A and B are shown apart, each in its own frame.
Chain A
């Protein structure tokens, strides 16, 4: 069974204090790993997709990296507006019934990031 574990569950940073969030995964084969940001009571907002080990993507203060077993979301000099829950999800290669490239996402429970001014 596909599993996604995110750590830490909660992280409190001071504004400007850089850190990383971890997402470790167990899948039979990885089609893609996704990072989302979710604000309270709202739907997840897509951030990045990573497909292969060694891949990196950046967006503003966020940088996502991928290895064969885990992904990191690095936050450089965070601001209070970066406070949110960050979700990691994987799509496995095992869905043989789709006939295409649409697969369901398996999510971790998220990391609640709080950035204090």
Chain B
């Protein structure tokens, strides 16, 4: 069974640009979670989508947004990129009735 997949693996952008990151959950999982892991800060919760709707949001500005598609895959958009947005962005998925999050390999975003 395929795990959570994310694309691209690496993404290099410059300040002010927009970045789009993609996540495909494990088959049958309806919930997708996005986390940011910046150097020295640990994993910070960004967004949670379930059944196509945003269910919860972490302490991040509105320029971090996303959506979940009918096939439960998800997209994270970061507008007006800033240097401090450089981080590993991780996606996790779970069953609706389960709590465990299985993580993808992450997308390394570098903002120059």
Within 8 A of B (CB), among A40-73: 41-46, 49
Q: What's the tally of chain A residues with a CB closer than 8 Å to chain B?
A: 28
Contact flag A43-B33 (CB < 8 Å), given A91-B99, A101-B99: no
B interface residues, tally (CB under 8 Å):
30
Interface of A (DSSP majority class): loop
Which of A17-25, A75-83, A106-114 lies at the interface? A106-114
Residues of chain A within 8 A (CB-CB) of B101 are: 34, 46, 105
Beta-carbon contacts under 8 Å, A20-43 to B = 31-32, 34, 36, 41-43
| Given A97-B55, A104-B56, residue A45 in contact with residue B103 (CB < 8 A) | yes
Q: Which residues of A lie under 8 Å from residue B4 when comparing CB positions?
A: 43
Could you tell me the distance between the alpha carbons of A112 and B43 in the complex, rounded to whole angstroms? 14
Q: How far is the CB of A87 from chain B (nearest CB, A)?
A: 7
Contact partners of A91 in chain B: CB under 8 A? 99
- Asked whether A100 and B104 contact (CB < 8 A) given A105-B45, A110-B42, the answer is no
Q: Which residues of B contact A95 (CB under 8 A)?
A: 56
Residue of A nearest to B108 (CB): A41
User: B74 contacts the other chain (Cβ, under 8 Å)?
Assistant: no
In Å, the complex CA distance between A110 and B43 comes to 9
Residue of A nearest to B97 (CB): A101
Tell me which residues across on chain B come within 8 A of A32, comparing CB atoms: 99
A110: B residues at CB distance < 8 A: 42
Known: A46-B102, A87-B42, A102-B55. 11 other contacts (CB 8 A): A34-B100, A34-B101, A44-B43, A87-B43, A95-B56, A104-B45, A105-B43, A105-B101, A107-B44, A108-B42, A109-B41
